[in-house]
């Protein structure tokens, strides 16, 4: 019964995307596994082993042929290592990305604050006040954050962000400044590495593997932005939205510490070994 619950319904020729306990019970009878059984009994058995065939999570398996190599470089930088040698006091690590299409939602009625036995109330209907992109850079070792708001992303806005950071100390006179970024169109491929070197000779562009944004520490900061600034989304216009983002950026610097990053190259190697095993299920690996 447990093996049946772990099958995909399509493999049994059923036109459903997920099994329910009732469907598992019906399939078990049709296959002759049992003469009769209730969905409630199936649920009790599966509950004992925490098998939930009706639940699912999105998952992207590594498809980059150089995934381990690229991810390993990023993880080494977080540990203060580059190409096998320790980083020096004049080396800096920057994590960067863009948070795109942030809307300013002007609620059609004023909300109400929380009260006894009642949560805060936010008006459901809103008028769209436009959208902007927030570009940010996080100093991994110093817990410093830099950012700017632009109408849209692109190479030129990214250039502006890089200049914003590299134009001030200690980055301007640093030995090396490593810029960790994903493969977005603003900083993709070998061309972006050449552009970075042209913009600032002591800056090095380092890419995460494709579909590996979870390796980029700036995403942690963006999750803070989402929770603390953008939820609920109540802004009369883009000017107010931009001010809130930049004001929070300044506020966050006063309380921030470097993220306690525990996922190392050794942990990555262990994860990739798990994923390479035949029949390995994603939920048994660390995402």
Please tell me the distance from the alpha carbon of residue 63 to that of residue 71, in angstroms, as a whole number. Answer: 12
Domain boundaries, the chain: 2-48, 67-255
**Residue 94 DSSP label:** E
Please tell me the distance from the alpha carbon of residue 206 to that of residue 181, in angstroms, as a whole number. Answer: 6
- pLDDT tens for 230-272 read 999 999 999 999 999 999 999 999 999 999 999 999 999 998 8
Tell which CATH classification among 3.30.750.24, 3.30.70.560, 1.10.3720.10, 3.30.420.10 matches the domain 67-255: 3.30.420.10
User: Is 160 a residue whose pLDDT tops 60?
Assistant: yes
**Residue 115 DSSP label:** B
Please tell me the distance from the alpha carbon of residue 185 to that of residue 217, in angstroms, as a whole number. Answer: 19
Q: Which two tokens stand for residue 198?
A: 């042209």
What pLDDT does 286 receive? Answer: 38
Task: For the chain, report the end-to-end CA distance as a whole number of angstroms.
Answer: 28
What pLDDT does 278 receive? Answer: 62
Reported for 165-172, long-range contacts at CB under 8 A and 24+ positions apart, including other chains, are: 165/94, 165/137, 166/199, 166/200, 166/202, 166/203, 170/90, 170/92, 171/92
- pLDDT tens for 97-141 read 999 999 999 999 999 999 999 999 999 999 999 999 999 999 999
3-state secondary structure at position 228: helix
- Residues 76, 82: contact at Cβ < 8 Å? yes
């Amino acid at each position: 019964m447990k093996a049946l619950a772990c099958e995909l319904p399509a493999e049994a020729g059923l036109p459903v995307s997920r099994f329910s306990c009732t469907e598992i019970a019906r399939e078990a009878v049709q296959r002759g596994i049992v003469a009769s059984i209730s969905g409630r009994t199936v649920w009790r058995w599966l509950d004992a082993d925490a098998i939930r065939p009706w639940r699912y999570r999105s998952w992207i398996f590594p498809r980059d042929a150089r995934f381990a190599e690229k991810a390993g470089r990023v993880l080494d930088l977080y540990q203060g290592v580059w190409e096998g040698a320790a980083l020096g006091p004049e080396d800096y690590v920057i994590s960067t990305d863009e948070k795109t299409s942030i809307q300013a939602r002007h609620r059609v009625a004023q909300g109400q604050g929380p009260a006894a036995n009642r949560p805060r109330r936010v008006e459901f209907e809103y008028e769209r006040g436009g959208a902007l992109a927030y570009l940010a850079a996080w100093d991994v070792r110093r817990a410093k954050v830099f950012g700017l708001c632009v109408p849209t992303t692109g190479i030129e806005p990214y250039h502006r962000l890089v200049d914003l950071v590299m134009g001030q100390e200690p980055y301007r006179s640093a030995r090396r400044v490593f810029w960790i970024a994903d493969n977005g169109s603003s900083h993709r491929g070998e061309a972006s590495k050449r552009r970075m070197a042209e913009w600032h000779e002591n800056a090095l562009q380092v890419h995460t593997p494709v579909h590996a944004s979870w390796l980029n520490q700036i995403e942690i900061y963006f999750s803070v932005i989402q929770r603390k600034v953008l939820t609920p989304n109540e802004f009369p216009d883009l000017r107010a939205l931009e001010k809130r983002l930049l004001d929070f950026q300044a506020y966050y610097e006063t309380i921030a510490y470097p993220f306690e990053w525990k996922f190392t190259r050794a942990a990555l190697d262990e994860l990739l070994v798990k994923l390479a095993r035949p029949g390995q299920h994603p939920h048994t690996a660390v995402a």
